[in-house]
Amino acid sequence: MRTVIRDAHIVTQNPSRDIVKGDILVEDGRIAQIGKVRDSADREIDASGDIVIPGLINTHSHVSMSILKGQIDDMPFDKFLDKSFGIDAKRTEKDILAGARQGCVEMLRSGTTTFVDLYYSQDVIARAVEETGIRGILGWAVLDPEFTTQSGTPLDNAKRFHLSHRGRSRVMPALGLQGVYVCSTETFLGAKEYALENDLILTFHLSETRKEVVDCKKKEGRRPADYLANIGFLNDHCLAAHSAWLTVGEIRQLAQAGTKVSTCPVSNMKLATGGVAPLPEMFQNGVTVSMGTDGSTTNNCLDMFGEMKTLSLLQKSSRWDPTVLPAQQVLDLATIEAARAVRMEDRLGSIEVGKQADLVIMDGKSANLRPMRPESIVSNLVYASCGMDVKTVLCDGEVVVENRRMVTVDEEEVLRGGEAAARELLG
């Protein structure tokens, strides 16, 4: 199967960050040529005046919580946790599937082609991933058996999920860990051993709140990242979400271990957890940073364009420094740096020959993307655009969204299914 996207402004995100005007040839799921493509193809997509960017990568989410959107807003953190754990305990496969479908549709329609998820029942979420055609790096949530509602041992469940789903194209099993507050040293090390043996991403919540830091110091005598470094857990397969309350010493420990970060600015601001992730210090020390929306109860939107703008503004505002996190660097965090964070920079994150064809066509007719000048395209993407500007999306070379309509699933049916599930779950 050969597809050509014609006459677009291509934001390549290649090592020299070139923006070129021309065509992209996609052959068997991969980018085969960039520039003037003379041959015809099985499918021609006219993108004249439009912008093509690499598919965005959301490195922290709980996609099946999409149907809980708007249900747990504007309350103190402890109440928020009580309420979300209460709902979680009542969840069924049916509503997890409905939520995951809705979240996958929302992400694809707003230009995200790969996401990292942390939840239980990833076998159910995997179905939504395969139906919609997005790429899911699905981390089964592991925690100490006494804290979970999962039947059986969480780590065994995670291993079973990996064994039954490995080798697929869009579903990539991973390991998740809830966090230091519900995972013992033994649980952390057991998950690490399995992840490294099987080359799996190991994603977990880290230093999201000040309470987490204080409690960990009381229990373990160290701050969370320091504790995880000290027990020998941190490694280069680790992807730490939030990472807001870190000292420079802890950042150096993350850097030394090759641990990556997924910063979640909207979630942290909405829950008012106070810490602003120390990104400038992470960059100075060579930590790979990416960004995530977190779940739909703390965001409540899975649009990575909104996340990019918010992240940049939060960092600038908190440092009293408008030069912090410029537009190009923000776009990097959502594309090529995010690909590095999930150890797939050889396959994803930029538009280069040989890479998988995860491509997003943005509507050049949108007023918020004009005037269209090559010099301001990246700035417009980060500061002026939103997911509604996304017209067409390819994942692995397959067209999954075309002219703002889902191709793979019936969007209306998915959204109605989400409402029915929310009604059943929440009353």
Interacting residues toward Zn ion by CB under 5 A: 294
C-beta closer to Zn ion: residue 226 or 294: 294
- Is the Cβ of residue 294 or residue 303 nearer to Zn ion in the bound state? 294
**Angle between the 122-132 and 93-109 helix axes, to the nearest 10 degrees?**
40
CB of 292 to Zn ion, least distance (A): 8
Residue 294 or 358: the one with the smaller Cβ distance to Zn ion is 294
C-beta of 206: minimal distance to Zn ion in Å? Answer: 10
- Distance, in Å, from the CA atom of 66 to the CA atom of 106, rounded to the nearest integer, reads 9
Q: State the nearest-atom distance from the C-beta of 298 to Zn ion, in Å.
A: 7
Other C-beta atoms closer than 10 Å to the C-beta of 40 total 9
> CA 295 to CA 106: how far, in whole Å?
12
Name the residue nearer to Zn ion (CB basis): 50 or 294: 294
Q: Cα–Cα distance between 60 and 176 in angstroms, integer? A: 11
Longest alpha-carbon distance in the chain: 66
Residue 178 beta carbon to Zn ion: minimum distance, rounded to whole angstroms: 9
Structure tokens that stand for 115 in this block: 């996401």
Nearer to Zn ion, 293 or 366 (CB): 293
Cα separation values, 129 from 32, 116, 166, Å: 26, 11, 14
| Closest CB to Zn ion among residues 176, 306 | 176
Minimum CB distance to Zn ion, residue 241 (Å): 5
- Rounded Cα gap, residues 326 and 286, in angstroms: 17
CB nearer to Zn ion: pick between 294 and 389: 294
Q: Which is nearer to Zn ion, 288 or 298 (CB)?
A: 298
Least separation in angstroms between CB 80 and Zn ion = 12
Q: Which is nearer to Zn ion, 59 or 312 (CB)?
A: 59
3-state secondary structure of 229: helix
Nearest residue to the partner Zn ion, using Cβ: 294
Q: Give min distance, CB of 294 to Zn ion, in A.
A: 5
Alpha helices (H) along 65-209: 77-89, 93-109, 122-132, 154-165, 185-198
Q: Shortest approach of Zn ion to residue 75 CB, angstroms?
A: 17
| Residues comprising the chain, all counted | 427
CA dihedral 386, 389, 395, 400 (to 10 degrees): 120
Angstrom distance (rounded) from CA 11 to CA 351: 8
E strand or H helix at 230, and its extent?
helix 224-230
Q: What is each CA distance from 91 to 48, 67, 95, 148, 364, in whole angstroms?
A: 46, 11, 7, 13, 42
Tell me the C-alpha distance between 276 and 325, whole Å.
Answer: 14
Task: Round to whole Å and give the CA distance between 52 and 68.
Answer: 32
Q: Give the number of other CB atoms < 10 A from CB of residue 354.
A: 9
d(CA 77, CA 162): 33
Question: Which residue number, 123 or 294, has a Cβ lying nearer to Zn ion?
Answer: 294
Nearer to Zn ion, 294 or 363 (CB): 294
Tell me the angle at which helices 93-109 and 411-426 cross, rounded to the nearest 10 degrees.
Answer: 140
